[in-house]
Homo-oligomer: A and B are copies of this chain.
Amino acid sequence: MTRFDITILGCGSAMPTTLHNPPSQLVELNEKLFMIDCGEGTQLQMRKYKARIGKLHSLFISHLHGDHIFGLPGLISTLSLLGRTTDLHIYAHKEIDFMLKPLLTYMGNHLSFMIHLHPLNPLKKELIYENNNIRISSFPLKHRINTNGFLFEEKEAPNHIIREMINYYNIPIKEIPAIKGGADFVTSDGTVIPNRILTHPAAPPRRYAYCSDTVYAPEIIPYIEGVDLLYHEATFAESELNRATETYHSTARQAAEIAAAAGAKKLVIGHFSSRYNELVTLLNEAKALFPEVELADEGKILSL
């Protein structure tokens, strides 16, 4: 099975602390490196955790609050100093253009690669990237400004053929694609060999969903139903529920409620408020509702 790893580069919130960096994570999938959000210092975190910056495929920006984007200019500048030539695709709300253009213009003459900005749809789920093996979608979250969550999915893989059966029944090569696709095989004497004897099913496709920043929003559940891993923001403890609601953030308990209702297999919480020096309260409040939960932390790798 190919790697499907999420590396947390930062899981703090608006105000970075000595404990937590501003939001950013890397998704390694299909032998590509995707970045979600890019707070200040993200390129430094990549170096610290030895991420292979040369493999960076594209960037996904949930929304345009500073803590999610202030690392972009530095990252882009470094990619250029390293001599990147591959185009860089950035998926973000369309206003990123207005914010980054002057910086990009200023660096423009020296950039070694092209940047393509792809505006996200803040109102409905949309497929934003696809290849033979994976699919990346954005979907609306509910925050103070237009904000998107992201869903990284493997595509359903064809069944694996059982080599011994091919030999045993002497199946011609031209029949194999159909069998991988689910067809039975009919021998020369008319005997039907059911597909389940010839193949075993591929591993079920894995799915990862990123939901930050957002207020408690049950309307996102259909987008993330049954994911293997859900990253959901948990900026506050339950004692700060009012503050969470006012600022369009979630509590750890609310993150757990969403994970439970969506039937997620596992939950990781992050985007912690700078007021918390230790996070055991948040963890316990989530765990009470949804046992398969862990705290995000800088450098942590979650493998699917």
Contacts and interface: CB of A to CB of B under 8 A. Distances in A.
Interface of A: 14-18, 21-22, 39-41, 43-44, 47-48, 64, 66-67, 70-71, 73-74, 77-78, 81-82, 95, 98-103, 106-107
Given A15-B81, A16-B78, A40-B43, A106 B99 contact: yes
B74 A40 contact: yes
20 contacts: A14-B81, A15-B82, A16-B74, A16-B78, A21-B44, A40-B41, A40-B43, A40-B44, A40-B71, A40-B73, A41-B44, A64-B106, A67-B77, A70-B70, A70-B77, A98-B102, A99-B102, A99-B103, A100-B102, A102-B102
A5 to B, nearest CB: 21
Contacts of A66: 73-74, 77, 103, 107
A163 B296 CA distance: 64
Q: Is the interface of A mostly helix, strand, loop or mixed?
A: helix
A16 B16 CA distance: 19
A47 B17 contact: yes
A18 B98 contact: no
Nearest to A42: B40
Contacts of A95: 106
Nearest to A106: B99
Nearest to A145: B106
Contacts of A64: 106
Nearest to A102: B99
A38 to B, nearest CB: 11
Nearest to A103: B99
Contacts of A67: 74, 77
Nearest to A40: B74
A21 B95 CA distance: 30
Contacts of A98: 102, 106
Contacts of A70: 40, 70, 73-74, 77
Given A99-B102, A103-B99, A106-B99, A78 B48 contact: no
Contacts of A18: 44, 47-48
Given A16-B78, A44-B40, A77-B14, A101 B102 contact: yes
A24 B100 CA distance: 22
A22 B73 CA distance: 13
CB-CB nearest 10 A-B residue pairs: A40-B74, A41-B41, A66-B77, A70-B74, A70-B73, A99-B102, A15-B81, A18-B47, A15-B78, A41-B44
